[in-house]
Amino acid sequence: MPLDELVITRAIMESYMDKFLGSLDSDVAIVGAGPAGLVCAYYLAQGGASVAIYERKLSVGGGIWGGGAMFNQVVIQEEAKRILDDMEISYMPYEKEEGYYLVDAVELSCALGLKAVRAGVKIFNLFTVVDVKVVGEEERVSGLVLSWTPVEMAGLHVDPITVGAKYVVDGTGHDAEVARVIQDKLGKRLNTPTGKVVGEKSMWAEFGEKSVPECTGEVYPGLFVIGMAATACYGTHRMGPIFGGMLLSGEKAAKMLLERLKG
Ligand SMILES: Cc1cc2nc3c(=O)[nH]c(=O)nc-3n(C[C@H](O)[C@H](O)[C@H](O)COP(=O)(O)OP(=O)(O)OC[C@H]3O[C@@H](n4cnc5c(N)ncnc54)[C@H](O)[C@@H]3O)c2cc1C
């Protein structure tokens, strides 16, 4: 059968528009397709929620790909191993010490992305979230303002567009970019000890890993924080290239959000 370039173009445009418009008002919009965002999205979709992820870069996986200092292996601890089992991701116990498991960073990045998409999550890459949409007197977060990443990179004078969501999740990593919008643009207090993004503390893997899931939650009406964004918001310790806390944080946020969506 002859191939027609115009059919290819039409097929791409139409199916992309269907996907985008189908996510225009989702249950949950997640910013950032790092480990925390992808796990959160996967469990939300498994629980029946409609979920869209907006990711600035071309690829999903966030900080997973580079492992530790570009050695592309990551470590997961005992507590998070069950998430790897659940998502059928392979790992090897570190034979010299109990409780440490090694995962290939490439497999982890690809598998989390595949599992999320297969569960029904819609991922939109090359979108940078530049603002939030708010509603009501309390200025509750109710959506996101999106700009194409190449527009941001080129500094073009182009207006962004807006999508709605019942809840928004900040999975932007160290920079906690969405929480900072609430603090800097809206001038509102966050639900943190200082009312602001406190900023992460120095390396302490044991404490840092335990605190990531503890800090996961609603940081402002309609906005949840996960992963390193939660660490940054609540000012707990960084933990280096051990990723269990990121997975557990995503899972915990998904559980909390599914409860909220039920209510
Ligand atoms: C300098 C540096 C230090 C690090 N230190 C640590 C550490 O101490 N402990 C640790 O565990 N890990 C560290 N990492 C690795 C890594 O960031 C995390 O471990 C892990 O990947 C965090 O997972 P996450 O899901 O929270 O966010 P990330 O993996 O960082 O993913 C966030 C994603 O959000 C996207 N994003 C960000 N802003 C926007 C936006 N406005 N719009 C759309 N998308 C956006 C990013 O492109 C990225 O894909 C470090 C990384 C760097 C670069």
| Residue range 172-205, pLDDT digits in tens | 999 999 999 999 999 999 999 999 999 999 999 9
- Are the CB atoms for 60 and 32 separated by under 8 Å? no
pTM above 0.85, yes or no: yes
| Residue range 1-56, pLDDT digits in tens | 899 999 999 999 999 999 999 999 999 999 999 999 999 999 999 999 999 999 99
| Domain spans of the chain, in order of start | 10-64+112-262
With the most atoms of ligand 1 within 8 angstroms of its CB, the residue from 174, 209, 243 to mutate is 174
- Torsion angles phi and psi, residue 212, rounded to 5: -60, -50
- Nearest Cα neighbor of 173 from 80, 254, 60 is 60
End-to-end CA separation in angstroms for the chain: 53
Architecture of domain 10-64+112-262: 3-Layer(bba) Sandwich (3.50)
Task: Please state the atom number of ligand 1 nearest to the C-alpha of residue 127.
Answer: 43
Nearest-CA residue for atom 12 of ligand 1: 240
> How many helices, marked H, and strands, marked E, lie in the chain?
9, 11
